[in-house]
Amino acid sequence: MFLVCILVTMIMLMVAIVYIYFERKQTRELLGEQALTTAIAVSEMPFVKEVILQNENATMIQPLIERIRKQSGAEFIVIGDADEVRYTHPDKEKIGQKMIGGDNERALIEGENYISFAKGSLGMSVRGKSPIYDENNQIIGVVSVGFMLSYVDSLFEQGLAAFSIWLAFIFISGVAGSFMLAKSIRKDTFGLEPYQIARLYKERGAILEALNEGLIATDQKGNVTLINHSGKKILGIRENIIGQPVQKVLRDSEISHVLANQLATGHYETIYDKKPLIVHYKIIGEKDSYAGKLASFQEKSGVQELVNTLSEVQQYSQDLRAQTHEYTNKLYAISGWLQLGYSEKAKQFIHEEIGQQKIYERVLFERITDSTIQAVLIGKLSKASEKKIDFIIDEDSFIQMTWPIKMTATLVTILGNIIDNAFDAVAEEAEPLVDLFLTDIGDELVIELGDNGCGIEKADINMIFNEGYTTKAGRHRGFGLALVKAALDELNGTIHLSKNQPYGTVIHIHIPKTGAT
């Protein structure tokens, strides 16, 4: 408001300066034109010409000229002959004396009608000059009609007073308007000052660019008003699209249709440029006003990777609890045998456990170097022990390659889900058995997993990798092999199911090592 008031004041001052300059100039010009018109009219009077030609006494013409002067409002009307001797003057004592001002040459010599500013016997004045001609068109005298500049300025000051009143009214109106404008702006900006809005704008820009999630917003007409760096990267946009219609920018995709639809909100899964995306839509505006829509989106693969990682962390936690529970039971059994005096049986049990553990340690830590595979297998061994499943890791297994960190979640998904499926398959068997063999000798990582479960019917083989399809009872099943198939597709790997002998299922998985680079 303070700045607006300063602006209004500066504008008013400039208007006042311009007004004073032009109004004063115009007032002088108007009175000069009036003086010139009067001078021309007097110079054409026959009686005036006759007096000058006959060189008669000025008293004959003075009364007439005085009446004309009073009627025209002029300060003086002076008639002089060719020698600039006065025949008339408001001050009778100056009649017969020479005219003062030095501005008669253009009338007496060149015969012009003109306006001049000069200082005469009465002071500074604006004058109208006109030559007097005889019948032979010879210049015989001059008429000078004048208005004092003090009188001109008094007329101007009268107009300036009225103008000042209007100027004050306009200034007060401007201040009142600026107050109302400031109040309205503060309401629209939630009471924030300009520097606070600028800071919020900078912070908003930094936050938007720091997000890994893509953002795109539209106004009520469906034109793009915002898109961050991640949004451009995910949607493959390089040029500036601000202000363009979203349906034109996104090529009539599902995202553009939802953004253009005022009523559609919530979470959606869609595909844009062959990329599966998870999109959340939110309306911008209040209850009764629609100001546009915001879409936040990210690639489904990234979300799926996070979900898988969290799932495996949860699985590790469950496996550790199972291992703790299993070893607690074994310690209770050993303690019971010792209290009952069966020390030999306790020793035999301990030696069997140590022997089995040494076999696992040799395979896991000497023949398998990848820490991700080691961690999954240790957890599954504990789970198998708790469920009383004989989980055998082939002693000929050999993994020399260390898979990169970015492939950890994918590898955990593949290995963890096929082992869990095998455990579920043998859960109802009298002597449940699961056998695992792994090797990366060559160009591929080969995983073979066999079980002695009920097997898979031929009719189910083509459907087993579909999400939600299961041959087991219960809800929220049928996702394990679907996740495995999706993870293998990312690594260009393959999976094949065959019948185990004499019964059960064998899963063959081949993953090219090039998929890990």
> What residue ranges do the domains of the chain occupy?
2-155, 211-300, 342-516
Q: Which residue has better confidence, 300 or 42?
A: 42
Any idea which of 139-143, 330-334, 368-372, 473-477 has the lowest mean pLDDT? 473-477
3-state secondary structure of 437: strand
* 211-300 fold: Beta-Lactamase (3.30.450)
Question: What confidence tier does 509 reach under pLDDT thresholds 50, 70, 90?
Answer: very high
**pLDDT tens for each residue of 463-480:** 777 655 555 544 334 457
- pTM to 2 decimal places: 0.41
3-state secondary structure of 142: strand
Q: What's the Cα-to-Cα distance from 343 to each of 99, 153, 339, 499, rounded to whole Å?
A: 153, 132, 8, 45
pLDDT the model gives residue 517: 55
In the chain, the percentage of residues whose pLDDT exceeds 70 is: 86
Average pLDDT over all residues of the chain: 81
Whether 342-516 and 211-300 are alike in CATH topology: the answer is no
Q: Which residue has better confidence, 457 or 436?
A: 436
pLDDT the model gives residue 477: 45
pLDDT the model gives residue 87: 86
Res 347 pLDDT > 80: no
Q: How far apart are CA 457 and CA 88, in angstroms?
A: 138
Q: Per CATH, the architecture of 2-155 is what?
A: 2-Layer Sandwich (3.30)
**pLDDT tens for each residue of 179-199:** 888 888 888 888 888 888 888
Q: Quick one: DSSP state of residue 455?
A: -
pLDDT the model gives residue 294: 87
Any idea which of 351-355, 460-464, 498-502 has the lowest mean pLDDT? 351-355
pLDDT the model gives residue 320: 67
Question: What confidence tier does 279 reach under pLDDT thresholds 50, 70, 90?
Answer: confident
Give DSSP secondary structure letters for 234-303: HHT--S--TTSBHHHHTTT-HHHHHHH-SS--EEEEEEETTEEEEEEEEEES-SS---EEEEEEEEHHHH
* Chosen CATH of 342-516 out of 3.40.91.50, 3.40.50.150, 3.60.20.10, 3.30.565.10: 3.30.565.10
